[in-house]
A = this chain, B = another copy of it.
């Protein structure tokens, strides 16, 4: 079955490459993904990786709009950060990638930077733009949990300020590469242990350093189960993030944008602080954001 999209949406991060064949009226005709993320590619590897994935969709030479680390200095071509406060996406700032395949025309969306405190994002600006299309007139806070979680204050259609937390990466390193991994093998989850970790971290965030090794010690001498250790570690790290991000969520309207399971964990942690967060799918937001940049949207303006 041939796919003949009006345009192609691409989300190209450090670890993964995802693409959607889009119709002129914004429907997804087909999707594809590979593990050829930026982290695996040298500069001249991007075009071949993209053609491998979306070659079958290119007969009609549809324009491609991409976001994510593909636009970083180590990516396909650098799309310089735009400085906040600003609207999350700006068609005029798109950067065209150098291509040799005549069927390709690839526009890359820039990320955002904040001078003080210094911070950067790439990819999330597109989800933010999408969220603002899905929630017209939204004023408040967006939280995008992930490897590098972002808390974002949006107002009047602009990103006002944001802050990044390495919570997801810390969880991966501690649970898979540190001494704690010995007590966390296997699957399973212990909701009560997660809640205890969140509560512990929020009430005494300065004690995180002292809490981590306890997970190992309790496994050795007090029978802590692997699922409780994993869940408590997650709770401790998310709770520590919430403690530091308090100005973002206390008394604010909060919307979570992320993968189902992770967003559910953040929503649960926020609910323990009496914050009822709205939830949006990260993919929905990415597609809504890229759609705003597509030539179809331009034609419709």
A interface residues, Cβ below 8 angstroms from B: 73, 81, 113-115, 117-120, 148, 163-167, 169-170, 173-174, 177-180, 205-210, 212-214, 216-218, 220-222, 224, 237, 240-241, 243-245
Contacts and interface: CB of A to CB of B under 8 A. Distances in A.
A224 B119 CA distance: 13
Contacts of A245: 209-210
A213 B113 contact: no
B214 A117 contact: yes
A9 to B, nearest CB: 25
B164 A213 contact: yes
Contacts of A120: 216-217, 220-221
Given A205-B205, A208-B208, 16 more contacts: A113-B217, A113-B221, A117-B217, A118-B214, A118-B224, A120-B217, A148-B213, A166-B178, A173-B173, A173-B174, A205-B206, A206-B243, A207-B244, A209-B240, A209-B244, A210-B245
A173 B166 contact: no
B179 A118 contact: no
A217 B206 CA distance: 23
Given A177-B173, A205-B206, A206-B205, A164 B244 contact: no
A139 B240 CA distance: 35
A115 B221 contact: yes
B210 A244 contact: yes
Contacts of A218: 118
B217 A164 contact: yes
Contact of A119 (B173, B174, B217, B240): B217
A298 to B, nearest CB: 30
Nearest to A72: B220
A240 B214 CA distance: 16
Contacts of A210: 117, 163-165, 244-245
Contacts of A180: 166
Contacts of A241: 209
Given A166-B179, A166-B209, A118 B222 contact: yes
A163 B240 CA distance: 20
Contacts of A206: 205-206, 240, 243-244
A112 to B, nearest CB: 11
A217 B120 CA distance: 6
